[in-house]
Amino acid sequence: MPRVPRVLGRLVLLALTWLVAPAALAARAVLTVDTDRVAVGQTVTLRLEVADGQAAGVPEVPAPEGARIRYVGQSQSAVIVNFQATRTVTYQYALTPLEPGILDIGPVAVPLRSGTVVAPAVSLEVAPSEPSGRGRKEGARAELVSTPEGSQADLWAGQVVVYRFVFHHRDPLVDARWSPPAFEGFTPEPSTEQVKREYRIEEAGQAVAVHEILVPLVATGEGRGTIPPATVEASFTDTSGDPRRRRPLDEFFDLGFTRTTRQAVLASDAVSWRIRALPEPDPEEGASGFSGLVGHFEVRSQLGAARVRAGESVTLTVEIAGDGTLSGFRLPPSPDSGAFRAYDDAPEVTGALEQGRFRSVARLRRAIVPLEEGLLQIPPIPITWFDPQEGRYVTASIPGGTLEVLPGEVGDPDVVSFAGDGRPAQHEVEALGEDILPIHTGVRIASRRLEPSDPVSLLLVGLPGLALLVQLAGSLKGRLGARSRRHRAIRALAKRLPSDRDARLAALDQALREAAGLALELPPASVDAARLEEALPPDLGPVAADLYRRLSGFRYGGGETDPDLDGQVLRMVDRLLGRAR
Amino acid sequence: MNRRAHRFLGVLLVVLVPVLGAAGTPQERFDEGTAAYQAGDAVGAEQAFREVIAGGTEDGHAWYNLGNAWYRLGRPGLAIHAWRRAEVYLPRDPDVRANLDRARLEVKDRLEAPILVPAHFFWQRPLAPGESARLAAVLAALALVLANLLVARRRAGQRGWSWAGVGALGLAAALLGLSTVALQRSLAQGAVAVVLAPEVTARSTVGGEGVDLFVLHEGAEVAVRAREPGHVLVTLPDGRWGWLPRAAVATLDPAEGPPGA
pLDDT of B43-94, one tens digit each? 999 999 999 999 989 899 999 999 999 999 999 999 999 999 999 999 999 9
Chain B: residue whose CA lies nearest to A475: B155
d(CA B180, CA B174): 10
Lowest mean pLDDT among A162-171, B31-40, B151-160: B151-160
Q: Return the pLDDT at A449.
A: 78
State whether residue A396 is helix, strand or coil.
Answer: strand
* Confidence category of residue B158, pLDDT binned at 50, 70, 90: confident
d(CA B44, CA A39): 61
Q: Is B8 helix (H, G, I), strand (E, B) or coil?
A: helix
- At CB < 8 A and 24+ separation, what contacts does A237-245 make? A237/A171, A237/A172, A237/A173, A237/A174, A237/A261, A237/B225, A237/B226, A237/B228, A237/B233, A238/A171, A238/A262, A239/A171, A239/A172, A239/B225, A239/B226, A239/B233, A240/A171
- A339-396 per-position pLDDT tens digit: 888 888 888 988 888 877 888 999 998 888 888 888 888 888 888 888 888 888 888 8
Q: Give A283-405's CATH code, choosing from 1.20.120, 2.60.40, 3.90.700, 2.40.160.
A: 2.60.40
A172 touches B at CB < 8 Å: yes
CB atoms within 10 A of CB B8: 12
Domain spans of chain A, in order of start: 3-127, 138-276, 283-405, 479-579
Q: Are B87 and B252 in contact, with CB atoms under 8 Å apart?
A: no
Best probe of the A interface among B70, B88, B204, B215, by most A CBs < 10 A, is B204
Q: How many Å apart are CA B211 and CA B243, to the nearest integer?
A: 10
CATH number of B3-104: 1.25.40.10
Residues 534-573 in A contacting B (C-alpha not used; CB under 8 Å): none
Pick from B117, B148, B209: CB nearest A471 = B148
Is the confidence at residue A25, as pLDDT, over 70?
no
Q: Name beta bridge partners: A39.
A: A127
CB contacts of B144 in chain A (<8 Å) are 461, 464-465, 467-468
- Which CA distances in Å does A486 have to A504, A527, A564, A573? 20, 21, 20, 10
By Cβ distance, the residue of B64, B144, B155 closest to A475 is B155
Cis peptide before A107 (omega within 30 of 0): yes
pLDDT tens column, A508-544:
888 888 898 888 888 888 888 888 888 888 888 899 9
Q: What CATH topology corresponds to A3-127?
A: Immunoglobulin-like (2.60.40)
B192-251 carries CATH number 2.30.30.40 = yes
Helix (H) or strand (E) holding A299: strand A297-303
- Measure the N-to-C terminal CA separation of chain B; round to a whole number of Å: 49
Question: Which pTM was predicted?
Answer: 0.51
Q: How are strands ordered across the β-sheet holding A392-398?
A: A290-294, A381-387, A392-398
Closest to B49 (Cα-Cα) out of B83, B96, B1, B15: B83
- Measure the CA–CA gap between A542 and B21, rounded to whole angstroms: 87
Buried b / exposed e over A29-58, threshold 16 CB at 10 Å, is bbbebbbbbbbbebbbbbbbbbbbbebeee
A431/B contact by beta carbon, under 8 A: no
Q: Report whether pLDDT(B11) > 70.
A: no
List A residues 113-152 in contact with B (Cβ-Cβ < 8 A): none
Q: For residues A123, A129, A133 and A136, what is the CA-based torsion angle, rounded to 10 degrees?
A: 110
- What's the pLDDT band for A94 if we cut at 50, 70, 90? confident
Q: Write down the domain spans for chain B.
A: 3-104, 129-188, 192-251
- Please write the tens of the pLDDT for every residue from A446-486: 888 777 777 888 888 888 899 999 988 988 888 888 888 88
The candidate with the shortest Cα–Cα distance to B62, out of B72, B47, B40, is B47
CB atoms within 10 A of CB A566: 17
* Nearest in space to B175 (alpha carbons), one of B127, B223, B224: B127
Q: Are A63 and A30 in contact (CB under 8 A)?
A: no
Residue of A nearest to B103 (CA): A436
CA–CA dist A156, A123 (Å, integer): 26
User: Which of A92, A174, A253 is closest, CB to CB, to B118?
Assistant: A253
Query: Residue A6 — pLDDT band, cuts 50, 70, 90?
Result: low
3-state secondary structure of A382: strand
Residue to mutate among A208, A231, A457, with most B CBs inside 10 A, is A457
Distance between CA atoms of B172 and B115, rounded to whole angstroms? 23
Q: Taking 80 as the threshold, does the pLDDT of residue A425 lie above it?
A: no
Contact A215, A180 (CB under 8 A): yes
Contacts of A196 (CB under 8 A, 6+ apart): A211, A212, A213, A214, B210, B211
Contact across the interface for B238 and A73, Cβ inside 8 Å: yes
Same CATH topology for B3-104 and B192-251? no
**Nearest-CA neighbor of A101 among A64, A46, A145?**
A64
A478: left (phi over 0), alpha (psi -120 to 50) or beta: alpha
* Cα torsion angle, B44, B49, B51, B54, sign: negative
Read off the pLDDT of residues A141-168 as tens digits, 9 standing for 90 and up: 888 887 655 455 678 888 998 898 888 8
Q: A138-276: which CATH number, 1.10.287, 1.10.10, 2.60.40, 1.10.150?
A: 2.60.40
Residue A68 contacts residue A98 (beta carbons within 8 Å): yes
